[in-house]
Amino acid sequence: MLIMQDNQQQKKDQYRIWRLMALKLSGEASQPELQELHQLLQDNPHIKYSMEVLTNLQNTGKGTHPPCS
């Protein structure tokens, strides 16, 4: 039972991390959300790498795409 609860909490944490990452990348994250994301990424280094990759992709792609019609 304890393993099932841990697994459910992990899934909730991962969902929350991805949600906070989306808010950060879109520029819509509040300061408390950014602080929460920072803490969650410190606790989950395997996901921290994903955030770094997405941030790098976002920064690399700025200004390289023509405007949408």
Residue matched to tokens 């941030």: 55
Q: What is the mean pLDDT of the chain?
A: 83
Model-level pTM greater than 0.95?
Answer: no
Is a pLDDT exceeding 80 seen at residue 65? no
CA atoms within 13 A on the CB side of 12: 6
Neighbours of 40 (CB within 10 A): 18
Is a pLDDT exceeding 90 seen at residue 64? no
The least confident of 13-22, 33-42, 56-65 is: 56-65
**Chain segment 30-52, per-residue pLDDT in tens:** 999 999 999 998 888 888 888 88
In the three-class reduction of DSSP (H, G, I as helix; E, B as strand; rest coil), residue 68 is classed as coil
